[in-house]
Amino acid sequence: MKIKKTYKFRIYPKPSQKELIEKTLGCVRQVYNDFLAMCIEKHAENPNFKINKYDLIKMLPEYKDTFPYLKEVDSIALQQAIIHLHTAYTNFFRHNADFPKFKKKKNDHGYTTMNINSSVRNNGNEIQIPKLGKVRCVSSFNIPDDFSFTTVSVVKSGHAYFVCLNGEEENTFVEDLERALDSNNSIGLDFSMSSLFVDSNGNSAEMPRFYQDALEKLAKLSKNASRCKKGSKNSIKAYEKLRKLQQHIANQKKDYLHKLSYKLANQYDYVFVEDLDIKSMQSKANDIKFGRELSDRCYSMFLNFLNYKLEWRGKKLIKINRYYPSSKTCSHCGYKNENLTLSTRQWICPNCGTHHNRDINAAINIKNEGLRLLALN
């Protein structure tokens, strides 16, 4: 069984290669924006207009004649820009995303090309990339011999450049896949604002306040950047510092969530959670501080990491209905306390007299409900 995987490592391009990367980013942005504008215009003329990526790609040669400098960059990267536009349009009409937006220069993060006839080769300390040639790279891991990749992304983050190899490799968790899953080896997780979550064993996973801790420094850098003259060298430097700190915070969060999800995926066969709409909770938050705290938890990202790690091992993440009264139901006798308010963190069951911690009780109920649904299947 093969699984999808991405390997990311840093590259150190020469000045001429940096210039070509920047030129490619600009060309990809131009193609995306111009073709998006064309699609918007055609859709305004004909509401039934449907975007076809193959028809758009056929228009590229004529478009390149109008802008000859587009011929200097990787042609596949330009084709991939159109494919990404088609995907964005499709997701919008399927109500999976917002309407595609025009790309801005300050948000240029990378471009994608294809590995055709081994045009991309990784030789350990160097990687061969179309148009760029051999680029020095540094990797802290060994890529398996059975890893086959089809797409390659060149990513810019601040002053640093990275390469992402996207492909497939054989699943190494063979023992977990062959073993029968045990419903007794399961855990329920309840989302918590005081931490990341509380589990059915009574433990809580603390979420470090990476964003909150850096808030003062972020405000200072943002203030300095806003005071600079737009487009000046000082303005560019100030925004680079700001982006570097923002990227550092994002990396800290991802690193912590990867390690936490890895630990849970190794330990349990079934993980039960509530199917919460975190995005809706953020948009409805009246308090800015509450919305910021909610965003800093990155609970949705954590569940995504946990889900694919469990799938690799043949295990399951099961979501229960978000309207299930997990907090109001006594996990000991099943009594439902309708008078329980959100501010009440500790309560005693009027029916059996059991003392409950709200979050731990909810996590136990989530686990019990998940096991019930599992038994029905």
Q: What are phi and psi of 99, to 5 degrees?
A: -65, 140
Query: What pLDDT sits at residue 24?
Result: 94
Query: What pLDDT sits at residue 277?
Result: 80
Using 50, 70 and 90 to split pLDDT, how confident is the model at 124? Answer: confident
Is there a contact between 152 and 112 (Cβ–Cβ < 8 Å)?
yes
Tokens of 344: 């009440």
Quote the CA–CA distance of 272 and 369 in Å, as a whole number.
Answer: 9
Bigger pLDDT: 359 or 288?
359
Query: What pLDDT sits at residue 111?
Result: 93
Tokens of 248: 């550092």
Mean pLDDT, rounded, of the chain: 87
Using 50, 70 and 90 to split pLDDT, how confident is the model at 188? Answer: very high
Quote the CA–CA distance of 153 and 165 in Å, as a whole number.
Answer: 7
- Pick from 199, 138, 156: which is nearest to 20 by CA? 156
Using 50, 70 and 90 to split pLDDT, how confident is the model at 369? Answer: very high
Is there a contact between 127 and 118 (Cβ–Cβ < 8 Å)?
no
Beta strands (DSSP E) in the chain are 2-12, 110-114, 121-122, 126-129, 133-138, 148-157, 160-170, 186-191, 197-199, 204-205, 270-274, 316-320, 346-348, 355-357
Query: What pLDDT sits at residue 257?
Result: 93
Question: Mind listing the pLDDT tens digit for each residue in 234-254?
Answer: 888 888 888 888 888 988 999
Question: Mind listing the pLDDT tens digit for each residue in 83-112?
Answer: 999 999 888 888 888 888 999 887 767 899
Bigger pLDDT: 366 or 181?
366
Question: Mind listing the pLDDT tens digit for each residue in 287-316?
Answer: 666 667 777 778 889 999 999 999 988 899
Query: What pLDDT sits at residue 289?
Result: 67
Every domain of the chain and the residues it spans: 2-170, 181-376
Q: What is the DSSP letter of 68?
A: G
pLDDT at 155 over 80: yes
Quote the CA–CA distance of 331 and 358 in Å, as a whole number.
Answer: 10
Question: Mind listing the pLDDT tens digit for each residue in 310-350?
Answer: 998 889 999 999 888 888 899 888 888 888 888 888 888 88
Percent of the chain's residues with pLDDT above 90? 38
Query: What pLDDT sits at residue 308?
Result: 92
Supply the DSSP string of 257-312, one letter for each residue: HHHHHHHHHHH-SEEEEE---HHHHHHT-SSHHHHHHHHHH-HHHHHHHHHHHHHH
- Pick from 32, 11, 352, 350: which is nearest to 157 by CA? 11
Question: Mind listing the pLDDT tens digit for each residue in 39-89?
Answer: 889 888 887 877 788 888 999 999 999 999 999 999 999 999 999 999 998
Beta bridge partners of 112: 153
Is there a contact between 236 and 230 (Cβ–Cβ < 8 Å)?
no
Bigger pLDDT: 280 or 285?
280
Quote the CA–CA distance of 102 and 115 in Å, as a whole number.
Answer: 27
